[in-house]
Amino acid sequence: MTAYAFVTLDVTDPDKLAAYREVAGDALAKHGGKVLQASASPSVLEGDITAPQMAVVLEFDTREGAENWRADPDLAETHALRTGSGRTSITLL
């Protein structure tokens, strides 16, 4: 069953984010994932939270694919680029 992940980023190191973007697509594809939607200007429709600088919706073939993408030891350096680019969070839906 298709699974989605909601990613938020508040960027403090644009160079690391640029390096991450160069390898992110292949890393996602390795586990059946792809970027479904991305926004550099998300807005909050409801709630008392601050909108992140960036928001991304990822689509995976399965929930296990999403979990394996995040846990893959071969992708540790790739994930480090993302997490080193600023404050990030990933919520699996």
String of b and e for 7-17 (b: at least 16 CB within 10 Å)? bbbebeeeebb
Are the CB atoms for 50 and 79 separated by under 8 Å?
no
The pLDDT assigned to 11 comes to: 97
Q: What is the pTM of this model?
A: 0.93
Copy the structure tokens of residue 35. 């970027």
- List per-residue pLDDT tens for the chain, 93 residues long: 999 999 999 999 999 999 999 999 999 999 999 999 999 999 999 999 999 999 999 999 999 999 999 999 999 999 999 999 999 999 999
CATH architecture of 3-43+50-92: 2-Layer Sandwich (3.30)
Domain boundaries, the chain: 3-43+50-92
Sheet of strand 3-11: strand arrangement: 33-39, 54-60, 3-11, 86-92
**12-33 pLDDT tens trace:** 999 999 999 999 999 999 999 9
Q: Where are the alpha helices (DSSP H) in the chain?
A: 14-30, 63-71, 76-84
